Every structure is written in C-alpha cells, then in structure tokens.
A and B are shown apart, each in its own frame.
Chain A
Amino acid sequence: MSQRKRSRGSGLTQGDDEDFSVVPTQSPSQVQRNLESRSQEEINRKVTELVQFLLVKDQKKIPIKRVDILKKVIREYKDVYSEIVNRAGRTLQQVFGLQMVEIDTKHHIYILTSTLPRVEGENLKQDIQTAKLGLLIVILSFIFMKGNSAKDSAVWEFLRRLRVQPGEKHEVFGDVKKLVTEEFVRQKYLEITPIPLTDPPEFNFQWGPRAAKETSKKDILSFVAKMQKKEPSFWISQYNEAKANA
C-alpha cells in the first residue's frame, strides 16, 4: 500500500482522490501520523488562512498557483498539505458554493468556480466588471463562430465595428489593447499565441482555460443566436460542436 492511485481528472472537487501529495511516496498511514502530530487548532487555522487566501485571489480573477499556496499559506505544514486543501475545498463548497478547479495540470494552477446552477441575468457587480465581461463574451463569441481560433487582425477589425479600438482610449475600458491582450490573458480568459514565421508578427486568439470552465459553447451560441434573432441550429457546425461539448 505504497502510493495513492493518481487520478487524471482535470478538476479538483472535494472528495476526489486527486493526487496532491507533494511528497509522492506518502502512504495513507504516514499522512495520518503527520496529522496526529499537529493540533486540530493549528490545522483549522491553516484551513481558514487558505480559504481566505483563495477567496481574495479569486475576487481579482487571479489564477492561484500551487507554488504560491505552499509558499505563502501552507509553509511548514507541507506534510499535511492534502488534508488542509481538502478541508478548505469542503468549506468553500459548504459556505460559498465554490470549488477549486485545476486549469493547468502541468504547473498546478487553480481557479474557483461556482457550483450553483447558472442563472441568466444574475446581478453581479453592475459596473466596470460587468462591462468588461460583456466585451469578453463578444470576443469569445467571435472566436467560437470563427471555428475556435481567430487572427488578431480579424478580432480588432470586428471590434472596430463596435467602436472599440486598440489605439484610442475607450471611455469605459480605457486601454483596450492592454485589457484584451494582457488582463484577459492573465486571467486565463483568452489565449494569444504568436503565429510563427509572420512578419509583421501576427497572433492567434483562442479561448483560455477559464473561459471554458466559466461558460460553454452552448451558452455562447445561444448568445449569438439571440443577438442575431436566429435559432442556434442555424449555424450547423457550431450547433453540433456545442451539443457535443455539453
């Protein structure tokens, strides 16, 4: 009974036997022994700190790196890391209806998503944040309708028609280029990759991992259909793709 079975899931929901052990050869009895050497109070304190840490980072939509969790919160409690994380996950679910989802399995990066059923017109912050999300949805829609990938020139041309231009300071979004190419990318909503051998350099716009987790092709297609006053099935290949993806 040496190693725990590694599960290959891409999400961590509490209760999953996700491989989180920092020391890969820890046996369950070893974990138990480590737990017993720490007081309940100490562990509870660490769980609370971790929950607060995750919430603060997520409010700013900053993806959370496991490396930072270990360095800034867990620290000398590394040996009971999995216990702390599991308990934090349960607390997040029980109190906030949130769960930790791994969006990068190689570098172990997480975001928090809501486990509550999605509802139309949910009143999140009605200000610059919702405006930014509106812009993002429009960009995600464009990318999806173009077959999941669009060139930067096409995206900017599309936005230009909506009077959103990278060169000008927008009255709501400010520096639009920075918002789209830096903020949305950092928040993992968009992925922008350079196209090799292009001069001047061109870029490919695609959905980022957070976009995939927070919305769906089905939702985006519904949005497009509503805007254009057509049925989603009007776009045959996108419709089939959205169905397959659901």
Chain B
Amino acid sequence: MAAQMSDAHRRFLQVLMSHGIMEGAEARKLHRRCCEISKVYYAQDKLDDFVSTINNQLQPLFMQIRKGMSEVDGRTHYALVNMAETEITKMASDYAENELELFRKTLDLIILSENGFASSTDILNSADQLKTKKMKKKEAEQVLKIFVDDKWLSERNGEYTLHTRCIMEMEQYILSTYPDIAKKCNICHSLAIQSQACETCGTGMHLPCIGKYFKTQSRPRCPQCNDFWPYEIPGTK
C-alpha cells in the first residue's frame, strides 16, 4: 500500500539530505518528529515503509534512500544516494577536476590496500603527479579534509578509508570499476573495504559480520575452507 507523500516525508528528506547519512536510531527519531510536526499519523517502527513512499518519488530522479551497514560498528545507516550509472556523478558537480582526480587516486590506493586504508603520505605523494593540475601537499591536505567533512572519506590515525556513506553510494561503481580487486564479504555479499581474510583461501568478511557469524561457534573456522580462523574475533574482547 503506497502511502501519499506528505510534508512529514518532505521534512524527513530535507533533514536527511543535509546530514548525508544518518544512523538507524537517529532516523527513527526523525521519522517520529517529522510526523509530529506535520500532524501526520506516525506508524511506529514502520520507518522502512515511510522511506519507501519517499523512494517512489525519488526513483524517477535516480536517487534513493538506501540502508547500509557501517563496516566499523555494524550499525544500520540510512543515506541518500545517487543511482545514476555514471561515475561519481554527485561528487562531480561539487569539486574541481584535479580534486576529483585526487579522489580517484585515493580510491585506487584504498581498494588496492590490504586493510582498506591509504596512508596520507601515499595520497599526498600522488597529489604531486596529478595529470589535470598538480596540487601542492598543503592544498591536497585541505582537499582531503573537505572529503572527510563531506563524508566521502573517513580518517583514522593519519590513514584514510571510505566513509559508510561513500560505500553506500559508490558500491556499484566500485564493483564494476575494480572487478577483480574489490572484495565482497562472504557473509553479507556486499562490498568490503575493511575486512579480515582467511590466510589459506583468501575469503574475506566484514569485521562486524565476522563478529556475528562466529558468535555461535566455539572454535572459529573459515566458512569456505574450514581452516582455523587466525585472527582475534571482533567484539570478543
């Protein structure tokens, strides 16, 4: 039953758009608040239905409110993403040519890395070799900060990985651009940037997915090759 678009839906969309991405609990609170303000019937715990109504309107615009999981804490997030099949469209209207090139280089470094992180040193070195327009290290640092503020990248200890929002938006693009290198989680089958991989067969999984999967096992084994899982299981400290 498709509900009608109301001011409650529009308000929700405006707020989500200004945040870019929201945690599940926050989104549920926002759902209730928007219904209260616009005096629209609030169907408790029916956030996904509420979102569907909005998505029906967003579909002709190639946009969607998507649900995704954070690779860091496993929590559900809602993000407004661009579905157009062209490369990095949403970013493209916002940044200069050489800034986009720096982002692509950073993306390369992240995807090709073992642990899903690119060091700032490596990124800044590549800034020097941009084909569009060279960037000094200082300028590149500023641009990286903007990418972090805009939630395309996440920074930790001087290293950069993709923000949950970026993964949700660019999953398809990444999987099709890096077909043999980009990893998929063996459990949830989504793109995995940060992951742990079996030493024997290379099967990779998200850390939160590993935590959930191995909760029920006494001696953790790889789901593919059955070898003992060599690492500490996340969430068992």
Contact = CB atoms under 8 A, between A and B. Distances in A.
Contacts of B5: 94-95
A116 B30 contact: no
User: Size class of B's contact patch?
Assistant: 20 to 34
Interface SS, B side: helix
A52 B33 CA distance: 27
B14 A116 contact: yes
A96 B93 contact: no
User: Size class of A's contact patch?
Assistant: 20 to 34
Contact of A97 (B11, B33, B61, B63): B11
A29 interface: no
Interface string A90-131: 010011111000000000000000101101001111001100
B42 to A, nearest CB: 16
Contacts of A53: 93
Contacts of B19: 124-125
B101 to A, nearest CB: 19
Contact of A51 (B37, B61, B149): B61
A114 B37 contact: no
B10 interface: yes
Nearest to B92: A56
A48 B18 contact: no
A96 B10 contact: yes
Nearest to A122: B15
Interface string B1-33: 000010100110111011100000000001001
B47 to A, nearest CB: 16
Contacts of A124: 15, 18-19
B17 A55 contact: yes
A60 B94 contact: yes
A94 B13 CA distance: 12
B14 A91 contact: no
B78 to A, nearest CB: 14
Interface SS, A side: helix
Contacts of B61: 48, 51-52, 91, 95
A122 B34 CA distance: 9
A53 B11 CA distance: 20
A128 B18 CA distance: 12
A44 interface: yes
Interface in B28-56: 30, 33, 37-38, 54
A72 to B, nearest CB: 8
A44 B89 CA distance: 18
A57 interface: yes
Interface in A7-50: 44, 48
A119 B93 contact: no
Nearest to A121: B33
A198 interface: no
B105 to A, nearest CB: 23
Contacts of A56: 90, 93-94
Contacts of A116: 7, 10-11, 14, 38
Given A48-B62, A125-B18, A94 B57 contact: yes
B37 A97 contact: no
B82 interface: yes
B149 A96 contact: no
A119 B61 CA distance: 28
Contacts of B33: 123
A95 B93 contact: no
Interface of A: 44, 48, 51-53, 55-57, 59-60, 91, 94-98, 114, 116-117, 119, 122-125, 128-129
Given A52-B93, A98-B14, A119-B37, 12 more contacts: A48-B60, A48-B62, A59-B17, A94-B57, A95-B5, A95-B13, A96-B14, A116-B7, A116-B10, A116-B14, A123-B33, A124-B18
Interface of B: 5, 7, 10-11, 13-15, 17-19, 30, 33, 37-38, 54, 57-58, 60-63, 82, 89-90, 93-94, 149
11 contacts: A48-B60, A59-B17, A91-B61, A116-B7, A116-B11, A117-B7, A119-B37, A123-B33, A124-B19, A125-B18, A128-B149
